[in-house]
Structure 1
Amino acid sequence: MDTLTPERRSDVMRRVKQKDTRPELCVRRVAHAMGFRFRLHRKDLPGRPDLVFPKLRVCLFVHGCFWHRHVGCRFATTPKSNEKFWLSKFDRNVERDERNASDLEALGWRVVVVWECETRDAETLFQRLKRELTERMTEGSK
């Protein structure tokens, strides 16, 4: 049962940001500190990736565990009220994510997804980005 009134719930949901979120800013900070340069939210690419590394042909999405259904994550909960609505919404989000990823791959881009929960530890995030982005750099030099 939702403890908020429908009006208050609407206010809360309206404030959920789509870009410049704390996890996204964390990824941007780490990638920039590593010396990688990127573009933000390119409108000409499917799904408007959060970070685009043009030289590496990598599109990086920073997904919230709740909204994009990070499998096995404790943050990917389902609200108890209006459960049918939420399950439908989450299914559409996941389908859209898959469609955007396949469209980008068809255009020759590599797609990387960093989950919100992975941004909580800076060292782990650093290692993940290093692995994902330097791997692409070595592929390009072959």
Structure 2
Amino acid sequence: MPDTMTKEQRHYCMSRIRGKDTRPEMVVRRGLHSMGFRYSLHSRRLPGCPDLVLRRYHTAIFVNGCFWHGHPGCGKFRLPHSNVEFWAEKIRRNKERDAAETAALEALGWNVIVVWECELSPVDRRKTLERLASTLRRNVEPESIHPIPLSVRKLSLEE
């Protein structure tokens, strides 16, 4: 299917896409805050500059857009039909960068949670936020040496 926008219209739309304070990120922030969680935003002191950092829980949260981060099996991720090579390479690099940032955080002892844009649809939002809160609370048991077992260091809400 050909692009229905002119080059100028497409440029304008793409220039409005931001990496911080996105709608999905704001949904997670409001939800966690209303449940009593406190966090810092976009900590440049940590690898990958996580969207939310919950120091008490030693957890970094990334809120990923399904398209930009190549969410496998998601209906929101579909490569554009124009300039396919460029987009395939861009998404591949984004996925590699995400994996490297996650590995770097885990090497520093941080728990990493990835929340996908599609998990925050109005239908799934409440369930996703409840699972996120449950995961965070479960990870601060005082009797445990590690906040969570090493086998589940990288957390996803898809579990």
The aligned amino acid for 1:46 is P
TM-score where L is the length of structure 2: 0.85
Structure 1: state its 5+ residue gaps. none
Structure with greater proportional helix content: 1
Deviating above 4 A after TM superposition, structure 1's stretches of 4 or more consecutive aligned residues are none
RMSD, matched Cα: 1.1
Higher relative contact order (CA closer than 8 Å, sequence separation 6+): 1
Equivalent AA in structure 2 for residue 39 of structure 1: S
Deviation, 1:84, is 0.4
Are 2:155 and 1:129 aligned?
A: no
TM-score of the superposed pair, with normalisation by structure 1: 0.94
CA distance in 2, matches of 1:128, 1:41: 22
| Aligned partners of 1:112 and 1:132 also within 8 Å | no
Partner of 2:120: 119
What's 1:85 paired with? 86
Structure 2: gaps of 5 or more residues = 145-159
The answer for the alignment partner of 2:25 in structure 1 is 24
Number of matched pairs: 141
SS at match of 1:25: helix
SS at match of 2:139: helix
Identity %: 48
Query: Following superposition of structure 1 onto structure 2, how do residues 1-142 of structure 1 map, counting pairs within 5 Å?
Result: 1-120=2-121, 121-138=124-141, 140-142=142-144
